[in-house]
Amino acid sequence: MRFESASIMCTPALQSTDRFGDVADYFRQHKDATLCAIVDAGMRPLGCVSAAEFKNLLASPFGFSLHQKKLADALMQPGFIVVNMREKVSEALGQLHDNEAILRDGLVVVDDAGRYVGTMSGLCVFRTMNALHADMLASLTREVAERKEAEGKIKRLADSDPLTDILNRRAFVREVNQHILARLPFACAFIDLDRFKQLNDRYGHAVGDEVLRVVARRLTRHPEISDAARLGGDEFAFVICQAINAAALAEFIESVHADLMDGIDTSVGRVFVGASIGYSVHLVDANESSAMLHAADKAMLRVKSQGGGVSRFDPALDATGEDGRAIELALSAAIATGRLQPAFQPIWDVRASRIVGYEMLARWPDSGLSSDPSPGQFIPIAERLGLIDPLFWTLADKAISSLGKDDHFLAMNISPSQLTSDHFATRLEKLLNRYGVDPARIELEVTEHVFFGNLERSLAVLKPVRQLGVSLALDDFGTGYSSLSLIDQLPFSKIKIDQSFVRGRGQSFVRGKVLQATIALCREVGITSCTEGIETADDLALVADLGCDQAQGYFIGRPSWLRDGGQIPSRALSA
């Protein structure tokens, strides 16, 4: 049987003078051709190969396929138009292998119905194989590149914080590990934004998100910062891996801090968030990654508790005490179950020489931690976790319910973040009514070392508090940024001068002068002055000489628990 008897489809190959066409073109034009017939030099059919098998063959080098005799296996396929060709096939294969003419003249192409559609030379097959092979290689290369890109994309997604597009915590820890393996000097810094929660509460999450994105951009624009990350919430971190000395490093991190303190333009106008930054230096402060991150975190928590700024890890200050994370974990349960207790420290009227009131100070006894945390440790954490308000109300309830019938006033510390809630005054009024306590006996102390986010808002909350008859004291005067403007703008009736002024007066002429001037200023503007940190009879005599109205400190009385019967201890004390 000769192929001429088969019904013939016209192909460009048939029209070529040497009767062999370009198989590559053929395959491109005749996608439906699924069989290839093989003929010898005399145009006698030798067998056929399916297009699928043919493609397989093309995928491997031509010569290799022939040697493997894959072609021979593929030749005997059902539907083949020439039968019983086994000997001839092996013969033809032998010839194909050795004989260039057969290679040159070798192939007839039929479609899957066995119809003759064209012929091709061995050379064309070879070229086609190469072309297809190249195509396959190209598509394989493309596929590999695409896969690589997809993998890169997945990795980038897995590594980055979706909101800010900088590294996430996991990737950051990995990068810190890499720096440690490189054994080059580097420093690692932790940032916690100040007043971010208030900002979020006030303007909503969309504005909060805008701020976080700007913070991320500000971090990445410093070429000295090799890795910037958002660890979650309003916590960020970065690595500086340049071999710079301690002073230059401190200066650089101060400049990052200053950068973050700048106003941020948002859809509701310009807002300001501060930042607390703690950092640690590899091989000096810590050797391995978790210790480095821990050290930076500790330094950050300390500086945050001091009202913000920048500080390097200091083993003397940061290595002792309970781990901040452990406090974080235990604190919310302790507040919810009423485990925090009020302690009371007496406040002394200097001229009348008697106790006139008590300041309530939070205590956390039987915390179950390795040592009971001090307010200096857990109050900033409560602020950070948004627990300061529930903390206040549980303690206020206990303290107000235990007020005796005397005329002592009760001072309670509140955080500026509480001055964003309209319900504050109403809730306080209800509490006082419940226990029948005269609001005139209550004083609220607001510390000034934490910046007031929004004075207008604070004023709106404090006004009804003042109208109740509750008085307000500005606490820790002299430790913050805005002392004098705060006295002017908020309705304070007392200033509590920070203990550093009376205690530091021996070492610093200026501190002594500030103490003197502040007491004089209070007298001048008709505000009660109270000096904190009175530890000795000398301290008390000094503030008495300066005309201070009230005094508070260990010399007068340390903070102590409620006595049996729930009455605040009244300790007579003569100076």
Distance CA 219, CA 19 (A): 71
Distance CA 447, CA 340 (A): 20
The structure tokens listed for 358 are 């008590």
Q: Which residue is nearest to ligand C2E (CB)?
A: 553
Exposure string (b/e) for 16-45, b if CB count within 10 Å is 16 or more?
eeeebbbbbbbbeebeebbbbbbbbeeebb
476 counts as binding Mg ion under rule CB under 5 A = yes
The DSSP line for 476-497 is: EETSSS-HHHHHHHS--SEEEE
192 counts as binding Mg ion under rule CB under 5 A = no
Residues near ligand C2E (CB under 6 A) are 345, 361-362, 374-376, 379, 388, 392, 395, 413-415, 445, 447, 475-476, 499, 532-535, 552-554, 559
475 counts as binding Mg ion under rule CB under 5 A = yes
Residue whose CB is less far from ligand C2E, 22 or 389: 389
Residue whose CB is less far from Mg ion, 45 or 307: 307
* Stretch of 333-341, 363-371, 531-539, 557-565 lying at the interface with Mg ion (CB under 5 A): 531-539
Count Cβ atoms within 10 A of the Cβ of residue 390 and give its class: 0-12 exposed, 13-18 middle, 19 or more buried: middle
How far is CA 131 from each of CA 29, 34, 173, 190, 386, rounded to the nearest angstrom?
A: 15, 18, 48, 57, 67
The structure tokens listed for 214 are 């700007």
Distance CA 566, CA 342 (A): 11
Residue whose CB is less far from ligand C2E, 166 or 361: 361
* Stretch of 346-354, 502-510, 532-540, 564-572 lying at the interface with Mg ion (CB under 5 A): 532-540
First to last CA, the chain: 131
Query: Which positions from 418 through 447 interact with Mg ion, judged by CB under 5 A?
Result: 445
Residue whose CB is less far from Mg ion, 11 or 413: 413
Count CB atoms within 10 A of the CB of residue 107: 26
- Phi-psi sector, 115: left (phi>0), alpha (psi -120 to 50), beta: beta
CB of 553 to ligand C2E, least distance (A): 3
CB of 430 to ligand C2E, least distance (A): 19
Residue whose CB is less far from ligand C2E, 99 or 332: 332
CB of 344 to ligand C2E, least distance (A): 10
Residue whose CB is less far from Mg ion, 3 or 555: 555
Residue whose CB is less far from ligand C2E, 47 or 380: 380
Residue whose CB is less far from Mg ion, 266 or 483: 483
The DSSP line for 12-40 is: HHHHSTTS---HHHHHHH-TT--EEEEE-
Residue 553: contacted member of ligand C2E, Mg ion, none (CB under 5 to 8 Å, by partner type): ligand C2E
H runs (alpha helix) in 311-422: 315-318, 324-336, 375-384, 388-401
* Stretch of 132-140, 218-226, 233-241, 471-479 lying at the interface with Mg ion (CB under 5 A): 471-479
H runs (alpha helix) in 225-374: 246-261, 289-305, 315-318, 324-336
Residue 395: contacted member of ligand C2E, Mg ion, none (CB under 5 to 8 Å, by partner type): ligand C2E
* Stretch of 123-131, 326-334, 436-444, 529-537 lying at the interface with Mg ion (CB under 5 A): 529-537
Residues at the site binding Mg ion, with contacts judged by CB under 5 A: 413, 445, 475-476, 532
